[in-house]
A and B are shown apart, each in its own frame.
Chain A
């Protein structure tokens, strides 16, 4: 396989010819922020965080889906790119109801981490405050549309890694929504294998394991009684 040489942020980088800019940068230790990209699933170039500048090309190129070209000069973090990235995050935060303090993913959230690392410390746009549902019909998992960034990582994971094809996108524009089957409650899905891969793929707290969210903790008091009774009376409560 032919190799390509290019510069990324002034650094000479060698890459295999079918590599993307994102992969070449990663191999060279250069970090490009991403959100909709997930190792192992097909890229869609939707979040626009990984846009980079290439000398001589007018348009910004998404690093995750753009193949390297010999001799390119790529810039991954110009002032302009950083400003656009912060705006992407501002738009995402304003779009739905992201309330970190009460979110299951607080401290483990890619959206939150991106805001911190890219310096998005406040949102200048008016919050949309949409009224959205939470689907708790599935036995093991929950889906909170308030926290969804529509990156479709779950959808692609469901189709291309699990092969179940349960998740999909319905509606368009701001009304886009992740659905299960043909917009039936998740718990009624006949195709979901309950594998949980979508939950692993989700960058935010939109998909979560049930039983570990705020106010969901239940104590098994009976267990203490079981032990004490067994010790003292040699009786094992069935």
Chain B
């Protein structure tokens, strides 16, 4: 592959475009509401209407408004049909000839769409994830070509550093700094890993990116590998995402066929291969050291850091490990420049962030907004608030590692520092909205149960501490706890947070701490009065 071929593929693809395009969402959300049958019905309806020469039916990825799926968009009319059933397809195709229909149309000027700024998701819903040509037509792999032909690895690292991009997996570590560390190590082998083990309850950002635009992630990984000097990459994706795995496999095969992966990428001396590793269902394998242990074929358990993966990762070699969304940000940065990217977002959080809106909210789905967008804009304007006249009570960000932000703090801008200040975290982008019917103690209990089940069992505070915290939370829920139990719970939160080995344990108390901080009354209301006469001498309850 050389530039001329890339341009040729793009031109061919654009030339083959027909007068109308019907884009039918085939990402997991819509597929689960029968979108594949809709796509088949559209194909048939177009054929029966004799419009094959004028209409292309394209299976695409996520078009954001998952709750209204299956979604079908019409180009160039800029119409979005919602909740399309296979039986609606004849009528839908007829609208192309100007026949009016009663089909449900989405309002593309609604705040849900209007406030979005698509960088990571710019191709999602437009390109066909199963066809590399479709991605190339959207300037795919152009960034890679430019990087390989016009930039040194050091310049790529500097570019990413200047962009101010921070890791989208949750912790927000500066991506450029991580790349620079790996690039500077001298080792005969280096690895690049894409962490696609998205496991937070209610989070589906990475899944959507992988299902909608797998080539984008692959291109980002190849650029990263060139920058740090790696020749082997792994995508660690959870087995619960079969569609993402299938599309990644297709994408890797196509990229190899076009000489974009393998030996001599873009006919340069640079070699890079990507293998897929499928997770076996352990949440903790999203933690980087556990993930690497799992790739190596060992038990997926974290180990103490340092040494960090950048220094000693897979099989002891320097390893760059980034999240799906981080890699997906790389090609546009390489194409449009670091300054363009750094111009979006806030002082310390650059670019955009993809969030998965879920829970008690009218518009569930995927949104991408500039960093610093107030939570209120996201949940009230874009999300449309709580359904059926409900009141938003809290927003949970960061999954089991995050916290609950009360409605009173909704004007907080969404960036790494502001969310941390509120006792939550940015996390990977799951955003669960709760209304007045939600019991916050039960929310804390739910997340603690999750952490308890997902603790790997290696270190004592996380393995046994989460069990005891869950037990105490259940006791509160059952109205059997006293103020002493609450004190014990708080003491455990402090201990588990400060003594656990990895991030899972260190952040497991966060949902409890944040609900205690903002909704303490709900705990107090459930407490039993403490016994009036505390025993003078604490009886030895142990039998050891």
Which residues in A have some Cβ–Cβ distance to B below 8 Å?
44-48, 51, 59-60, 62, 65-66, 83-84, 87-88, 91-95, 98-101, 112, 115, 121-126, 128, 149-150, 152, 168-169, 171-176
Contact = CB atoms under 8 A, between A and B. Distances in A.
B538 to A, nearest CB: 6
Contacts of B299: 168-169
Contacts of A94: 464, 468
Given A44-B303, A125-B468, A125-B488, A150 B540 contact: no
A172 B457 contact: yes
Contacts of A51: 499
B459 A46 contact: yes
Contact of B461 (A88, A99, A115): A88
Contacts of B284: 172
B501 A98 contact: no
Contacts of A84: 495, 498-499
Contacts of B544: 93, 98-100, 112, 115, 123
A174 B452 contact: yes
B542 interface: yes
A207 to B, nearest CB: 18
A168 B501 CA distance: 20
Contact of A173 (B454, B461, B471, B499): B454
A92 B464 contact: yes
Contacts of B464: 91-92, 94-95, 174
Given A62-B304, A87-B495, A122 B457 contact: no
B463 interface: yes
Given A93-B544, A174-B452, A46 B458 contact: yes
Interface of B: 282, 284, 299, 303-304, 452-461, 463-468, 471, 488, 491-492, 495, 498-501, 538-544
A173 B456 CA distance: 5
Given A91-B460, A99-B543, 8 more contacts: A47-B460, A62-B304, A87-B461, A124-B488, A125-B488, A171-B457, A173-B454, A173-B463
Contacts of A98: 544
Contact of B501 (A45, A91, A121, A128): A45
B492 to A, nearest CB: 7
A38 B110 CA distance: 63
A84 B492 CA distance: 9
A86 to B, nearest CB: 10
What is the predominant secondary structure among interface residues of chain A facing chain B? Answer: loop
Given A91-B461, A125-B488, A126-B471, A48 B542 contact: no
25 contacts: A45-B459, A46-B458, A46-B459, A47-B460, A48-B461, A48-B499, A51-B499, A60-B499, A83-B495, A84-B498, A87-B491, A87-B492, A88-B460, A91-B465, A92-B464, A94-B468, A95-B464, A95-B467, A112-B544, A122-B540, A123-B541, A123-B542, A126-B471, A128-B467, A150-B463
A123 B501 CA distance: 23
A88 B492 CA distance: 10
Nearest to A100: B544
A162 to B, nearest CB: 19
Contacts of A174: 452, 455, 457, 463-464, 467
Contacts of B459: 45-48
B425 to A, nearest CB: 16
B510 to A, nearest CB: 16
A94 B541 CA distance: 10
A93 B284 CA distance: 25
Contacts of A123: 541-542, 544
* Interface-centre pick from A45, A124, A128, A168 (highest chain B CB count, 10 A): A124
A169 B457 contact: yes
Q: What are the nearest 8 A-B pairs in CB distance?
A: A176-B457, A91-B464, A173-B455, A45-B304, A123-B542, A95-B464, A48-B499, A122-B540
B455 A172 contact: yes
A87 B458 CA distance: 16
A171 B458 CA distance: 11
A91 B544 CA distance: 13
B454 A172 contact: yes
A44 B500 CA distance: 13
Contact of B541 (A101, A124, A152, A173): A124
Contacts of B452: 173-174
B460 A121 contact: no
B34 to A, nearest CB: 36
A121 B540 contact: yes
B491 to A, nearest CB: 7
Nearest to B492: A87
Contacts of A87: 461, 491-492, 495
A13 B373 CA distance: 52
Nearest to A67: B306
Contacts of B463: 95, 150, 173-174, 176
A128 B467 CA distance: 9
A123 B492 CA distance: 13
Contacts of A99: 543-544
A172 B450 CA distance: 13
B500 A48 contact: yes
Nearest to B283: A172
A147 to B, nearest CB: 11
A51 B498 CA distance: 10
A99 B499 CA distance: 26
A124 B495 CA distance: 14
Nearest to B505: A48
B488 to A, nearest CB: 6
A175 B464 CA distance: 10
